[in-house]
Amino acid sequence: MRNLARTLLLALPVVALTAGAPSAQNSATMTMNGVTFSVTGGQQQTINTIDGGVEVTLDGRVVRLTGTEVNVDGTAYPAPQGARIGIDLTDGRLTVTADGDVIVEETEIDELARAAEAGDTGAMTTLALYLLDGVETERDVPRAIALLERASAADAAPAMRLLAFLLFEGTALPADLPRAYDLALKAAEQGDAPAQRLVGIFNADGLLEDADPTAAAQWFERAARQGDADAQNRLGEAYRDGRGVAPDLTMAATLFAQATAAEHQAGTCNYAQALWDGAGLPKDRARAFQTALQQAGAGGRACQLLLARANYAGEGTRQDLRIAAQWFWDAANEGDAEAALRLGRMYAEGDGLPQDTFQARHWFETAVRLGHPDAAAALAALPED
């Protein structure tokens, strides 16, 4: 009876492999119209006989099988005569094999492209990111921008925010601050945290109108509450400096600690400085030193400067002037004027380094260029070569 039932089933012009609520299906190897194949995965499966072969529809994907060809959604791929064809849609990505050899193997990019074409704004945004960065595909900026524009036209907050940042930075397309602000504001009003932070930056820096520290702090707070580490750091700086909010060193330190937990570079360096100074929390220079180490190697110049001072003075760690000089050098090369001045003085005075007027002049000149108010006097005090 089982063989008879199977024979009758395979003789039907359309075979529906799902019934009732959709569920993933697997079929045994079968032969229809001269084609041997199996189907794995998917929620909705149907099979039709066609001229010279079989048509399998799997969650809307159409795979046509003939003796020498596999056609997937209109794209043809050669297959060996009489090969056993395996069709697999596990995890939503189609793989087709012939006698175990892969003929078609879709990637995440293929899956995203299909979803984007069908109008999925999340897929449009994710695919745009991949295309902008050249991840798992060739870099294609025009296509990425087109996807973001399409998703933004549908008021998708992540797409509007990403397009806003691109227009703000002027990298993948020309800078356009008014449009960047408009897009960021729309996304921010939908609750998008990075967009809220960007609106805060516009207000803090007065990029389109006069600076509004109060509005900036309000936007930073909205983003910080959602865990945006950069917003936590910026709001912490506002509380530390009393910009747009009443000064509150304890709140500042709390926000810097939150940003540190997220491995935010500037937030970590600010937290280390708060620990060093005892600003808003108990002074702990050993802990400040260890905190600064977390980001100094990644180019955090404020962390590098703190480590230099710690090694120079022997506070929070053992004194080591040569290590101090190295950290001053790193911070100066990251653009820190104080570090450049301190390194110049070490060379000028032979303090932990060989006395070297040439090097001292170089670093004092660097400090002048970086805007340190005491650098010009230090440069003028050097002896002539």
DSSP string, 3-49: HHHHHHHHHSSEEE---SS----B---EEETTEEEEEEE-S-EEEEE
What tokens appear for 256 in the block?
A: 């810097």
pLDDT at 60: 84
Q: How high is the pLDDT of residue 54?
A: 94
Distance CA 51, CA 364 (A): 84
| Arithmetic mean of pLDDT over the chain | 91
Contact criterion met (CB below 8 Å) for 221 and 239: no
E-state strands within the chain: 14-16, 30-32, 35-41, 45-50, 53-58, 61-66, 69-72, 75-78, 85-89, 95-98, 101-105
Q: How far apart are CA 231 and CA 259, in angstroms?
A: 8
- CA gap 315, 51 in Å, rounded: 84
pLDDT of res. 23 = 36
Backbone angles phi, psi at 189, to 5 degrees: -70, -20
Sign of the dihedral through C-alpha 310, 316, 320, 326 = negative
pLDDT confidence of residue 59: 85
Helix orientation angle between 141-153 and 121-133, rounded to the nearest 10 degrees? 160
Residues of the chain with pLDDT under 70: 1-27, 385
Identify the pLDDT of residue 384.
81
| Model pLDDT, residue 27 | 65
And the tokens for 270?
A: 């600010």
Interatomic CA distance for residues 336 and 307, integer angstroms: 13
Contact indicator for 89, 42 with CB cutoff of 8 Å: yes
Contact status, residue 116 vs residue 147, Cβ threshold 8 Å: yes
Residue 198's nearest CA partner among 211, 217, 184 is 184
Tell me what pLDDT residue 185 has.
Answer: 98
Q: What is the pLDDT of residue 108?
A: 85
Q: Can you say whether the dihedral through the CA atoms of 269, 271, 273, 276 is positive or negative?
A: negative
Cα dihedral angle (20, 26, 32, 37), rounded to 10 degrees?
150
For residue range 108-128, what is the model confidence (pLDDT) as tens digits? 888 899 899 999 999 999 999
Q: What is the pLDDT of residue 105?
A: 86
* Full set of structural domains in the chain with CATH: 2-105 (no CATH), 107-190 (1.25.40.10), 216-283 (1.25.40.10), 284-385 (1.25.40.10)
Looking at the chain, how many residues does it have?
A: 385
What's the pLDDT score for residue 73?
A: 85
Sign of CA dihedral 307, 309, 315, 318: positive
Q: Which residues of 86-118 are buried (b: 16+ CB within 10 A; e: fewer)?
A: bbbbeeeebbbbbeeeebbebebbebbbbbbee
